[in-house]
Chains A and B, each alone.
Chain A
Amino acid sequence: MNPERLILSFAVAGICFLFRESLEADPMTHLLVQLPVLTISGYLFVIGMGGKNLRITERLANAFSLVAVFAILFWMLPRYIDATLVNPVVELAKFISIPVLVGGSLAVGWAKSNPFLRGFLKANAISMLGVLAFLYIHAPVRICNSYLLADQERLGFGFLISAIGLGIAWAIPLFSPPPNELHFQSSQ
């Protein structure tokens, strides 16, 4: 158990909760700040509890990663983004399910998942963000009833930047030499 990580996890979740109204007033900070930070909070909590050292098989790790995927898909539904803003029960469900089902599941399962599954999910995350970006930038009507059309367009560009950012972040390791090659070069 790592107390610093546990404290940090609660601090991060607490900040998200205390500043929820201002974070949720803008769809950019709601979807691209609050939800990822809640995920990080759950991730830190499980890591802090030693979840990364859990001895789970790859087949279970895959399942945990998929739990996170479905939870993300659910909270990407505009219907439930709207619902969190008008229904306290849905809001509470968000504050519990994202840290547990997304952050926690990723902490337990992601690193031990099948590399092909991870690659597949990464590629899909980028393409999903790209599709969302196109949809939110070009939709002539409001997709979320709670947000203005201009804010929706900004969110679309936010999705686009996120897709590009994730694409770059995940592509960089592919172009760096593998560790054994580095070792070979330094020993020459």
Chain B
Amino acid sequence: MRSFIRYLLPSCAVILLGGGALWIATDGFRAFTEEGARRLYVSENQPAMPLLVLEDINGDKLKLVPENKTPGKVTLVEFIYTSCPTICKSAGSEYARLRDKFIEAGLGDRVRMISVSFDPLHDPPSKMREYAMNHGADGTIWTIARIDARDIERTKHHFGLRVIQDGMGGYEHNAAIHLIDRTGNLSGIFNTDDVNGVLNTVWNKFQ
């Protein structure tokens, strides 16, 4: 029996150390992908968002977070580019459904929803207006805005946004709904179709 334990000892040590390393590397087997790690980090740390100034469909300036950080509305941000033929379109219709749910729940005046274009070069206000019309964003609760070209890298860094070219003139990116709370901190990231998850979280923030 003792010799059997002696035989297994080095292997058991490697299994313990290797398992421990994998445990640490995956935040306790909770995040196996970069996207999972990003969401976990945000939910645990709620990082402050930069004071970005966007340009909306009318060409007006739009602040991403309230400048003086006084509690105001929560802000939902999704990233898009208006010529996106696939995921942004379905995300857009989910966003419209979410807006309708907020109105039904009486939260219409507590929420701002912004679809933010990360492709300002190809998305002037006219293209954003067209996108808004096609998706039913009237600018009251939900509007479309673009990042200043100089802020793209900063935005990608703070949100953990990854954009890659698809080789056909478009992009693939980690599509999600980002919830910025009333004090300007990023407090949650949701799948674009997780309408109920977003609604419940926002609802709880105002209870």
Contact = CB atoms under 8 A, between A and B. Distances in A.
Of the four ranges (under 10, 10 to 19, 20 to 34, 35 or more), the interface on chain B belongs to 20 to 34
B6 A79 contact: no
A59 B162 CA distance: 45
B51 interface: no
A70 B21 contact: yes
Q: Is the interface of A mostly helix, strand, loop or mixed?
A: helix
B8 A77 contact: no
Given A74-B25, A78-B32, A146-B162, A69 B18 contact: yes
A151 B14 CA distance: 34
A34 interface: no
Interface residues of A, number: 26
B37 interface: yes
A60 interface: yes
A91 B32 CA distance: 18
Contact of B11 (A62, A144, A146): A62
B172 interface: yes
Interface string A41-71: 0000000000000000011101100110110
Contacts of B36: 79
A149 interface: yes
A79 B66 CA distance: 33
A149 B172 contact: yes
A78 B33 contact: yes
Contacts of B162: 82, 145-146
A132 to B, nearest CB: 12
Interface in B140-173: 162, 164, 166-167, 172
Interface in B6-45: 6-11, 13-15, 17-19, 21-22, 25-26, 31-37
B34 A60 contact: no
Contact of A145 (B6, B10, B17, B35): B35
A157 interface: no
B174 interface: yes
A111 interface: no
A154 to B, nearest CB: 13
A141 B134 CA distance: 25
A149 B14 CA distance: 35
A79 B181 CA distance: 27
Interface of A: 58-60, 62-63, 66-67, 69-70, 73-74, 77-80, 82-83, 141-149
Interface of B: 6-11, 13-15, 17-19, 21-22, 25-26, 31-37, 162, 164, 166-167, 172, 174
23 contacts: A58-B7, A59-B8, A59-B11, A60-B10, A63-B10, A63-B14, A66-B15, A70-B14, A70-B18, A70-B21, A79-B31, A79-B33, A79-B37, A80-B25, A82-B33, A141-B35, A142-B172, A144-B33, A145-B33, A145-B34, A146-B164, A148-B166, A149-B172
Among all A-B residue pairs, the 8 with the closest Cβ atoms: A70-B18, A63-B10, A145-B162, A82-B34, A66-B14, A78-B33, A63-B14, A59-B7
Given A74-B22, A77-B32, A148-B172, 19 more contacts: A59-B6, A59-B11, A60-B10, A62-B10, A63-B10, A67-B14, A70-B14, A70-B21, A73-B22, A74-B25, A77-B22, A78-B32, A79-B32, A79-B34, A79-B36, A142-B172, A142-B174, A143-B33, A145-B35
